[in-house]
Homo-oligomer: A and B are copies of this chain.
Amino acid sequence: MEKLPERIVPESSEATLRPISSGAEKWLYRPIKCLNHGFIYLVDYMGNDTSVVEAARVSYGRGTKKVSEDRGLIRYLRRHVHTTPLEMVEFKFHCKMPIFVARQWIRHRTANVNEYSGRYSVMSNEFYLPEPSALAKQSQGNRQGRGESLSPQVQQKVLELLKAEYISQYAVYENLLKFDLARELARIGLSVANYTEWYWKIDVHNLLHFLRLRLDKHAQYEIRVYGEAMARIIKDALPTTFEAFEDYQLHAMNLSRLEIEFIKDHSWPMESVAASCEILKQFKNKRETEEFVEKLKNLNLVK
């Protein structure tokens, strides 16, 4: 079994009457390393799988108590996108990440944030330097992603350029501070690879939405790393809820009206080339056709 990271604070438990999640307790104050200088760890939490059930029972009233047991109810809620009971559970993380990751992250507006301030405090000399393997070419098919890897020589060249740039940036920063320039101005030459940190608190409905977008293969790799670290914690903290999330959202497939009609009007399985041609003829959109063929392959309806 996988070993957990060390705790950053000495264990010292106290008694509480509140609901406990043993899976969450296990993760408190244990930083998962993310990228070269970042981390994420659980600072506090509220609720467990049973809290989701109890919130749902308030809505459905006493009448449902006998019928469904807890796991069934949680799965029912996810299947039918009844999300309000999931808002009743909350997690608080301490996260450290490059500014460009923080900029994508903050677009999720339904969270509470306290970020390190470069106006008050001195920024650290820590910058994101990718692993060589993460250095890939601009994707051709996908305008925003990465495609194939760069050659090892070019990867080396890229890293040298970035390293030199970071050293130069931080030297300028230190010089400006020596001139006693206000910190809020001295930091403006530091890059978005510079690390920042924050407390981030969010309810589980919005956290799962965040994970759905940020665990996706179209998300930038560097934020996906943080998504995966959080997913690891939530999986232990809310096992039943997370399993339902995986089954009904994360690994689900959405079929459009056009796709439904296409399946309806044809016999299955179809041969790959024939399917592609036929779909393209109807959809008149190359990218949408490719996406649909991909789905049909996953359903084993196209060979």
Contact = CB atoms under 8 A, between A and B. Distances in A.
Contact of A92 (B46, B138, B143): B46
Given A44-B47, A112-B87, A137 B61 contact: no
Secondary structure class of chain A's binding surface, majority of residues: mixed
Nearest to A177: B138
A13 B27 CA distance: 20
Contact of A248 (B116, B189, B256): B256
Contact of A257 (B44, B145, B192, B248): B248
A55 B114 contact: yes
A197 to B, nearest CB: 7
The number of times this chain is found in the oligomer is: 4
Interface in A114-153: 114-122, 128, 130, 134-139, 143-147, 150
Interface string A252-264: 1111111010011
A56 interface: yes
From A15, A17, A154, A250, residue with most partner B Cβ within 10 Å: A17
A210 interface: no
Interface string A83-105: 01101101010100011100100
Sorted nearest first, the 6 A-B pairs with minimum C-beta distance are A61-B121, A87-B112, A251-B257, A13-B15, A109-B109, A46-B46
Given A135-B181, A188-B193, A268-B268, 18 more contacts: A15-B16, A18-B45, A44-B46, A44-B51, A58-B114, A59-B117, A62-B121, A63-B121, A100-B188, A103-B106, A135-B185, A138-B182, A146-B185, A161-B189, A191-B192, A263-B301, A265-B300, A268-B301
Interface of A: 11-20, 25, 28-29, 44-47, 51, 54-56, 58-64, 72, 75-76, 79-80, 84-85, 87-88, 90, 92, 94, 98-100, 103, 106-107, 109-110, 112-122, 128, 130, 134-139, 143-147, 150, 154, 157-158, 161-162, 164-166, 168-169, 172, 175-176, 179-185, 187-193, 197-199, 201, 203, 218, 220, 246-248, 250-258, 260, 263-265, 268-269, 285, 287-288, 291, 298-301
